[in-house]
Amino acid sequence: MWSTFFLHEEDGRTLPPGAGAGSGPLAGVTGGGFGGRAPGAAGAAGAMGIKRRAIKTSASERPRGISAIQEGKIKLAFFVTIVGVVLTVLGMGTEYWVELSPPKRFYNNQTCLAAHYGLWKGCTRTLWVADIDPERQSCGPAELPGESNCTYFKFYTTGENAVIFRKTTEKSLNVATAIMALSSLFLMVMGGICITMALSKGELFFLKPASICFILSGILALLSLIVFNQSVLSFLASDHSVPLHHELSWSVFCVGCAGTILIFGGIICLVLAIPNSPWQSCLPQQNENNS
């Protein structure tokens, strides 16, 4: 009682009951004599409990098994593979895989024909000779303005080969190229689903099938370019009555870059799927043996 009074006079503030019980003669009665606990200690314990619950809640929001650094690396690898997917779709959807151009003077002095085709359709374009570079011997490039006529290939529906400049396309090689490209795209989608599962579930296990899907999709994309090149060579060898200059165009470049990027992204996913490198697991044992 007196200790409370003196504290009140010295500090200039009213203390709650039992706050000064630890220093007065009645400390045993007011503080813990009857098995009680000071209200200040109870408030501190309650605040600590709230803080612990907040820490647990914030920790539970992050996917278990993946740290913040690992999550950032996985998102970076996912971005790399998305770039490969976009380039693959761009290359597959366009018909600038190969450009075919006869000599400029083969038809007349004013116009000439150029052609380009991809996986699904081919186009012939009538160009003005005046728009072509004078130093260029062949008609083209196909990006020049002119009248264009595009048709879809019929060997996917009726099985008929296409005829361009009296030359016949190779059905089996073109179909094989399209199947490889579509299979590559399917594996890309499966790899993207696996990475999404890894980020949402917080499990590094899903990175292993994702890496396999991306590596296989990149390999199939590159193989499709090789088979397509063979189909072009077979197409040119089918007839020699019309001399043609051919060159692979920017659609092939897109698919080639996409295949390389996908293989690189798959390797990154495979490295991230390994929790510890072999040498890191051996170093602690070596240190213990040396000590």
Count of all residues that appear for the chain in the document: 291
End-to-end Cα separation, the chain, in angstroms: 63
pLDDT of amino acid 2: 44
> Whole-angstrom Cα distance, residue 130 to residue 132?
6
> Whole-angstrom Cα distance, residue 248 to residue 230?
12
Which distant-in-sequence residues (6+ apart) come within 8 Å of 81 by Cβ?
188, 191, 192, 195, 214, 261, 262, 265, 266, 269
Q: What are 36's two structure tokens?
A: 């009680």
Q: Smallest Cα–Cα separation from 132: which of 151, 107, 150?
A: 107
Q: In what order do the strands lie in the sheet with 121-128?
A: 146-152, 121-128, 111-117, 98-101, 245-248
> Whole-angstrom Cα distance, residue 185 to residue 197?
19
Digit-coded pLDDT (tens) for 157-182: 888 888 888 899 888 999 999 999 99
Digit-coded pLDDT (tens) for 33-89: 444 444 554 455 455 555 455 444 444 444 456 778 888 888 888 999 999 999 999
Domain 68-274, classified CATH 1.20.140.150, yes or no: yes
Q: Which long-range contacts (CB under 8 A, 24 or more apart) does 27-34 make?
A: none
Taking the model in full, what pTM does it have?
A: 0.70
Domain boundaries, the chain: 68-274
pLDDT along the chain (291 residues), means of 10: 43 48 43 46 50 47 64 88 93 92 81 90 89 85 86 88 88 93 94 89 84 95 95 90 88 95 92 64 50 47
pLDDT of amino acid 254: 94
